[in-house]
Every structure is written in C-alpha cells, then in structure tokens.
Amino acid sequence: MQLDDLYRRVIMDHYKNPRNRGKFDADEAVTIDLNNPTCGDKISLQMKVEDGMVSDAKFIGEGCSISLSSASMMTDAVKGKTLEEALDMAEKFSGLMKGEAVEFEYEDIEALSGVNKFPARIKCATLAWNALRKGIEHTKQNG
C-alpha cells in the first residue's frame, strides 16, 4: 500500500488550488446536489449547457482531498464537451476506478488511477462524476 499512489502531487495541487470552485446564479445553470450518505461528503455541481455542450461548470463541496480534487478535475475536463462526450468521460472514469488502463485528454485525471488500490476511497473519487451523470440525465430529460 503506497500512499503516494493515492496522494499524487497533481491531486494535492487540485485539492489545494481547486479549479472552478464557486457558484453561478441558479437560473443560469443546472444544479445537482449530491452527497455520500455513508461518509458525509457533499457536492453541489452546476453546469451551463448551451447547444448540447457543457459551456461552463462550477462546484462547491465538502469532502476529502480525493473527492474535491476529483471534482476540480472533472469540472475542468467537461468544459467545451458535448453531453455525449461528457458522459463518455464519466464511463471512462468508472473504468479507471476498476483498474482499467484508460487515457484522458485531460491528463490530470489519470493521477486518480491509484484510487482503485484503495477500495474504501472509490466513492470519494466518483461523487463528482455521479453528479455529472445526474446533471446530464436531467438536462436530457428537461431539454
């Protein structure tokens, strides 16, 4: 068990300097509030969707270094992506958590690959991505 597999420098950088932390006005964006009832982690993800594309994303949340750095990376990575591309990315992230070798255009995300060796922490890493899936689902259903 190598802690450095989990807490890579790039993860700690996102934790210390989260990208896209903040809020839009509620009417400007889709808001998804999600929590992990087993540990108390929370995220409020906001996505601006224009012409089937995520034009901007922000989040606020409470959680550990893994959940917050994952949210920071995810919000950065989805900007400019179509809903399908974003969903694809969420699928790939699930693969990463299962230990599959996957590559991301936004390479920072690959730093989270070590989480799969720490099963208890996978839920931390996937919280933001689950919020993304919900946000996409919500947008598709509500046009």
Partner 1 sequence: MNTAEIRELFPILKQEINGHPLIYLDSAATSQKPASVIDAVKRYYEWDNANVHRGVHTLGSRATDAYEGAREKVAKFINASSEQEIIFTRGTTTALNIVASSYARSVLQEGDEIVITPMEHHANLIPWQQAAKATGAVLKYIPLQPDGSISLSDVEATVTDRTKIVSVVYVSNVLGVVNPVKQIAAIAHKHGAKMVVDGAQSTPHMKVDVQDLDCDFYALSGHKMCGPTGIGALYGKKALLEQMEPVEFGGEMIDHVGLYESTWKDLPWKFEGGTPIIAGAVGLGAAIDFLQQIGMDAVYKHDLHLTNYAVERMSDIEDLTIYGPLKDRAGLVTFNLGDVHPHDVATVLDAEGVAVRAGHHCCQPLMRWLEVSATARASFYLYNTEADIDRLVAALLKTKEYFGHAIG
Interface contacts to partner 1, rule CB under 8 A: 1, 3, 6-7, 9, 12, 15-16, 38-42, 62-67, 118, 120-121, 124
CA end-to-end distance (rounded Å), the chain? 46
Closest to partner 1 by CB, 62 vs 88, is 62
Residue whose CB is less far from partner 1, 15 or 93: 15
How many whole angstroms separate alpha carbon 135 and alpha carbon 124?
18
- Minimum separation from the CB atom of position 15 to partner 1 (A): 7
Which CB, 47 or 66, lies closer to partner 1?
66
DSSP state of 52: T
Q: What angle do CA 83, 84, 90 make, to 5 degrees?
A: 90
CB of 120 to partner 1, least distance (A): 8
Token pair 């989040």: residue = 59
CB of 29 to partner 1, least distance (A): 24
What gap in Å lies between CA 29 and CA 75, rounded to an integer?
13
Instruction: Give the nearer residue to partner 1 in terms of CB position, either 42 or 138.
Output: 42
